[in-house]
Each structure stands twice: as structure tokens, then as C-alpha cells.
């Protein structure tokens, strides 16, 4: 329907984003109302009197019709009021802005590892289709896709940290470094670099390597399989045969012709993988005691803090919308036909 509107490209995109955000608000509101947890009881506690319960019930506007509650919710979101966390007593948005950099730092290193490993392996597997190297890479991908991430994390901690001492343990840094660097950005590596405290930087990096590698391995398995599939499709095209007949080397044919034509598809794959890491790092954050967004969402979900849960769901949706916009922008760069 949006495509049929006689609007410029940017206007159509703005309308699509507005409709998507509205649908996201409706979804988060419905989730908040369908959850079995009682938001009033979560605030006042189990021992509260009936009068106290009723007073908070009215303050939250739960006595009003659903459509009025929805409009109140949208109004609060538009003014930046996402409620107060029951667990911390602080505004939810402040809590999220505090924990989100830890997850972004973890997910960014993971996707760099995953894409940096998965894309070359996928190309190599496609070029060596059905050969021994292809079989080894496919087994590598299968293991990364099949092994539970929490199990891999615990094995990694047991072997690489407890037994060999090659990496740091749980948390973002060792306890005796906490508080030595001012939190300017929330990104520990950046803050340590800005403070020129390279000892804290090395310790933070040492703690980041293992969880990021395990998350990255999981992403690399997916990216490898998709890259292999895309490359096999391109290698079978006539233009590849023509390029080889004209005397181009196998390296030039693969990387300068076939690979160029799958970049747009890979942008989508990597963007979706990155979004999944941002919102799905719950298990690895739990295993490594990583104080990030996933752990914050889980903790608040367990106690029924619906303001925090609804805001987290909204943030996840906004992240995916943003990544889709970035993907569209990269499409225009990599493929002139889409401009």
C-alpha cells in the first residue's frame, strides 16, 4: 500500500518507519497487558493492604479503558517517560543507557569476529565445493550452530580461564580495577583509552575476548553457511565462466566478480546477525556475569517489572529498524541499481 502512494522515496520511507514504530508501540503495549505478572503487586509487594493496592492501581491508570491506557502510554513514550524500575528505583531509560554500552561492546567485537571469519570461510568452502576443505568448514559451521552457547561458555571458562589462565573470568574487568577509570562513554575500552590507562584497557580486553569469541563463533557459523550458499549461486552463473575464458585468474574471478555480486545480500545477513547479538546475548551475559542489556531484561522479567520489560522490547524493535535503515543505505552504496 505504501509503495502505491505518490510520495518521494524518502517520504515513503518516513511513512513506513512511522507505521512500523506505531505497530511496535501497539505490540509492546499488548505484551505488557498480556503478561501474567501483576504490575501493581510488583510495586506494592505481597503484604500491601487493599487500600494501598487500590491507590497504586488508580495511579497507574489501570481502571481506564484499554484505548485510554494505550494513548497514555504513547504520550509517555513520546515525552521520554518510560517509567521507573522497581528493582533499581531509577528511571528505566537511565538504567538501559547504563547497561546498553556493555552489550554493544560485546556484540560489536562478536560480529567483527563472526563476519571476519565467516565470510572468507564461506567463500573458500564454495570454491572448494564437496572437497575435503569444504567438508571441514561445513563441520565447523554445524558445530557452531549446534552447540548450546551457555555450554560453550562454561567450557571456555573452565579450560581457558580456570585451568590455563589465558583469559579473564566473569565481568567486564577484574575487581581491583573497578572505579579506576571514569565512565565517560560507558564503553570500557574507549574510556580506558581516553584515560590512557593501558593496564585497565588490557584487563578489559582480556575479559572481553572469550565471551565475544564464543558469540562470534555462533554468528560465524551462520554467516559461513549463507556466504557459501550465495557464492555457489554466483559461481554457477555464465559471467563467471566468461571471465575465466577471457583469461582472468581464479582469484580475480572469485573476489572481483562473484563476491562483488553477493555484497548486498551479505549486508542483510551481517546486520540481522548483529541485531540478534544485541538482543539475544542473554545466556552468554548470564554465564560471564556480563552487566549488559540482556541480563537487565532477564532480571526485570523475573520480578515482573513491566515498565522495564516493555521498554526493553521497544528498544530491541528500534535497534532492528535502525539496522534495516543502515542496510538500505549500504544497498545504495554497493548496488547502484537501487539508487
Residues 264-321: tens digit of each pLDDT = 888 889 988 898 888 767 888 888 888 888 888 888 887 777 888 888 888 888 888 8
CATH of the domain at 118: 1.10.3720.10
Split into its structural domains, the chain has a count of 1
Q: What is the pLDDT of residue 212?
A: 92
CA angle 212, 154, 150 (to 5 degrees): 70
Rounded CA Rg of the chain: 24
Domain assignment of residue 32, yes or no? no
Q: Which three cell numbers stand for residue 121?
A: 570461510
Of 286, 267, 268, nearest to 214 by C-alpha is 286
Domain assignment of residue 311, yes or no? no
Q: Which three cell numbers stand for residue 134?
A: 569444504
Question: Which residues share a beta bridge with 84?
Answer: 91
Residue 173 CB burial class (10 angstroms; 0-12, 13-18, ≥19): buried
Domain assignment of residue 30, yes or no? no
Is residue 8 predicted with pLDDT exceeding 60?
A: no
CA 338/CA 95 separation, integer angstroms = 40
Domain assignment of residue 174, yes or no? yes
CA 117/CA 112 separation, integer angstroms = 8
187 Ramachandran zone, left/alpha/beta (phi>0; psi -120 to 50) = beta
- Res. 108 pLDDT band, cuts 50 70 90: very high
CA dihedral 116, 117, 123, 127 (to 10 degrees): 150
Q: How many residues does the chain have?
A: 339
Express each pLDDT in 50-78 by its tens digit.
888 788 778 777 778 878 888 888 888 88
Say which residue, 1 or 127, is predicted with more confidence: 127
Is residue 81 predicted with pLDDT exceeding 80?
A: yes
Of 127, 152, 132, 121, nearest to 225 by C-alpha is 121
Domain assignment of residue 209, yes or no? yes
Q: What is the pLDDT of residue 209?
A: 93
CA 181/CA 333 separation, integer angstroms = 39
Is residue 333 predicted with pLDDT exceeding 90?
A: no
- pLDDT > 90 in the chain, percent: 20
CA 63/CA 46 separation, integer angstroms = 20
Domain assignment of residue 192, yes or no? yes
Q: What is the pLDDT of residue 36?
A: 67
Of 220, 313, 233, nearest to 269 by C-alpha is 220
Domain assignment of residue 31, yes or no? no
For residues 163 and 189, is the Cβ–Cβ distance under 8 A? no
CB proximity list for 178: less than 8 A, separation 6 or greater: none
- Res. 110 pLDDT band, cuts 50 70 90: very high
Domain that holds residue 182: 93-294+328-338
Q: Where are the alpha helices (DSSP H) in the chain?
A: 9-34, 39-44, 50-59, 66-78, 92-127, 132-146, 149-156, 188-194, 198-235, 238-245, 250-253, 263-280, 282-287, 293-303, 306-334
Q: What is the pLDDT of residue 166?
A: 87
CA 155/CA 160 separation, integer angstroms = 8
HSE-CB of 210 using CA atoms within 13 angstroms? 32
Q: What is the pLDDT of residue 280?
A: 64
Q: What is the pLDDT of residue 3?
A: 47
Q: What is the pLDDT of residue 122?
A: 92
Residue 43 CB burial class (10 angstroms; 0-12, 13-18, ≥19): buried
Domain assignment of residue 313, yes or no? no
Of 218, 199, 99, 97, nearest to 153 by C-alpha is 218
- Res. 9 pLDDT band, cuts 50 70 90: low
Express each pLDDT in 172-222 by its tens digit.
888 888 878 888 888 989 988 998 889 999 999 999 999 999 999 989 999
Question: Which residues share a beta bridge with 187?
Answer: none
Amino acid at each position: 500500500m505504501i509503495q502505491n502512494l505518490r510520495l518521494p522515496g524518502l517520504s515513503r520511507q518516513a511513512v513506513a518507519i512511522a507505521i512500523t514504530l506505531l505497530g511496535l508501540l501497539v505490540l509492546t503495549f499488548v505484551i505488557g497487558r498480556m503478561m501474567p505478572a501483576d504490575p501493581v503487586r510488583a510495586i506494592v509487594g505481597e503484604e500491601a493492604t487493599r487500600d494501598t493496592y487500590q491507590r497504586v492501581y488508580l495511579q497507574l491508570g489501570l481502571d481506564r479503558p484499554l484505548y485510554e491506557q494505550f494513548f497514555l502510554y504513547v504520550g509517555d513514550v513520546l515525552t521520554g517517560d518510560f517509567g521507573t524500575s522497581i528493582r533499581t528505583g531509577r528511571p528505566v531509560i537511565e538504567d538501559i543507557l547504563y547497561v546498553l554500552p556493555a552489550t554493544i561492546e560485546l556484540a560489536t567485537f562478536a560480529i567483527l569476529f563472526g563476519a571476519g571469519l565467516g565470510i572468507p570461510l564461506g567463500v573458500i568452502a564454495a570454491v572448494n565445493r564437496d572437497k575435503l576443505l569444504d567438508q571441514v568448514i561445513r563441520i565447523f559451521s554445524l558445530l557452531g550452530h549446534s552447540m548450546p552457547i551457555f555450554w560453550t561458555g562454561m567450557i571456555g571458562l573452565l579450560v581457558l580461564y580456570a585451568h590455563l589462565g589465558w583469559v579473564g573470568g566473569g565481568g567486564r574487568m577484574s575487581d581491583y580495577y573497578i572505579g579506576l577509570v571514569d565512565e565517560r562513554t560507558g564503553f570500557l575500552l574507549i574510556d580506558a583509552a581516553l584515560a590512557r590507562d593501558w593496564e585497565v584497557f588490557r584487563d578489559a580486553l582480556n575479559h572481553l575476548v572469550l565471551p565475544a569469541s564464543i558469540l562470534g563463533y555462533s554468528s560465524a557459523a551462520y554467516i559461513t553457511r549463507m556466504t557459501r550458499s550465495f557464492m555457489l549461486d554466483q559461481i554457477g552463473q555464465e559471467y563467471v565462466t566468461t571471465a575465466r575464458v577471457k583469461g582472468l585468474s581464479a582469484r580475480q574471478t572469485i573476489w572481483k566478480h562473484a563476491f562483488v555480486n553477493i555484497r548486498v545480500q551479505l549486508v542483510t545477513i551481517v546486520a540481522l546477525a548483529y541485531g540478534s547479538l544485541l538482543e539475544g546475548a542473554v545466556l552468554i551475559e548470564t554465564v560471564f556475569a556480563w552487566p549488559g542489556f540482556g541480563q537487565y531484561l532477564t532480571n526485570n522479567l523475573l520480578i515482573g517489572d513491566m515498565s522495564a520489560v516493555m521498554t526493553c522490547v521497544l528498544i530491541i524493535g528500534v535497534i532492528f529498524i535502525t539496522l534495516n535503515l543502515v542496510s538500505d543505505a549500504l544497498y545504495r552504496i554497493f548496488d547502484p541499481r537501487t539508487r
